Amino acid sequence: MVFKALFFLAVICFSAVLVSAENEQDPGLVMNFYKDTCPQAEDIIREQVRLLYKRHKNTAFSWLRNLFHDCAVESCDASLLLDSTRRSLSEKETDRSFGLRNFRYIEDIKDAVERECPGVVSCSDILVLSARDGVVQLGGPYIPLKTGRRDGRKSRADVLEQYLPDHNESISVVLERFGKIGIDTPGVVALLGAHSVGRTHCVKLVHRLYPEVDPALNPDHVEHMLHKCPDPIPDPQAVQYVRNDRGTPMILDNNYYRNILDNKGLLIVDHQLAQDKRTKPYVKKMAKSQEYWHKEFSRAITILSENDPLTGDKGEIRQHCNVANKLH
């Protein structure tokens, strides 16, 4: 009896050792992954995001949009940040990435981190944490997020369109694509609330204005859009755009939901979100309650930020966020 118990104990201890050895190699994503290797990492990133925000408010919009464009395409691996090479096209240069900006400032954040802890903190964690800290700068909720992501080595430009919906995609397709990464209907509705800040260029809007005005649009808003986008075929060089949320353009809040219920959504997807019977109930609820929107937004951002990361010994810690490391 005693022998049997001891034997069991030994088995349990042994398997615990095995499990912990495995965990040591690859704990996956964890809270404060850099606590021993670079304890200041999260503070440095937060401070850089704050300083950049003071100089250029729109950097915070970019950090938030980056999280979507990187993490929704197969993996949060900072593949979005890679420049084109002779052999491969950058994700940044595809049509879906239109309007993405401020990439050079990501390097400022990376440089600040590298000065303290060279070669330790990944660009993918910087991408995710900068989005988190940007949300706070914009008046959104603070979202605790795990770290430990590593950087991919290749552009995912060739598959990007399978993951990122177009501006005029149907709600069915949008729900299906987010559903595949574990984000449910209220989560999708909450994420689109990101369109409460930033801008949309006329090239993505003119099809709702010319040759005739989309009758679904609020006439007051049409006047404003026509004023901002006077040409049916916008000059690609001209920086012509409409702000996503005319009410509180610089604040990440639930005003987006009131806008789309008022037929002031700029993109077809924004408009449809307030029409479709699957999404409309959540739109109404988020329009009424900032608190409910914060809760769902935080939950969805967390899931998005944990989409199939490279961890353990997969991938690498990039030296510069725009190029993969040279292999020796």
Ligand X SMILES: *[C@@H]1O[C@H](CO)[C@@H](O)[C@H](O)[C@H]1NC(C)=O
Annotated binding site for substrate: 165
What is the DSSP-derived secondary structure letter of residue 92?
G
Question: Residue 68: which of ligand X, ligand HEM, none does it interact with, CB under 5 to 8 A by kind?
Answer: ligand HEM
Beta bridge partners of 320: 323
Burial class (CB within 10 angstroms; exposed 0-12, middle 13-18, buried 19+) of 223: exposed
Q: Which of 174, 120, 108, 116 is nearest to 149 (CA)?
A: 120
Q: What angle do CA 150, 153, 110 make, to 5 degrees?
A: 55
Q: What share of the chain is helix, strand, coil (3-state, %, to 5)?
A: 50, 5, 45
Please pick, from the candidates 15, 32, 168, 325, the single residue that binds ligand X as defined by CB under 6 A. 168
Q: Does 214 bind ligand X (CB under 6 A)?
A: no
Instruction: By CB under 6 A, tell whether 186 contacts ligand HEM.
Output: no
149 closest CA partner among 321, 278, 323: 321
Is 191 a binding residue for ligand HEM by CB under 6 A? The answer is: yes
Which of 82/267 has CB closer to ligand HEM? Answer: 267
Query: Is 108 among the residues that bind ligand X (CB under 6 A)?
Result: no
Q: Output the known binding site for Ca(2+).
A: 70, 73, 77, 79, 91, 245, 248, 253
CB nearer to ligand HEM: pick between 34 and 297: 297
Q: For the chain, where are the alpha helices, taking DSSP H only?
A: 2-25, 41-55, 58-71, 103-116, 123-137, 160-163, 171-180, 185-192, 219-228, 255-261, 268-273, 280-288, 290-305
Identify the residue among 38, 40, 99, 184 touching ligand HEM (CB under 6 A): 99
Residue 166 binds to ligand X (criterion: CB under 6 A):
yes
**What mask of x and - would describe binding to ligand X in positions 301 to 320, judged by CB under 6 A?**
--------------------
- Catalytic-residue membership of 201: no
* Joined tokens for residue 244: 């996503």
| 243-302 positions binding ligand HEM, by CB under 6 A | 267, 269
Residues that bind ligand HEM (CB under 6 A): 58, 61-62, 64-65, 67-68, 98-99, 101, 165-167, 169, 174, 191-192, 194-195, 197-201, 204, 267, 269
- Residues serving a catalytic function are 69
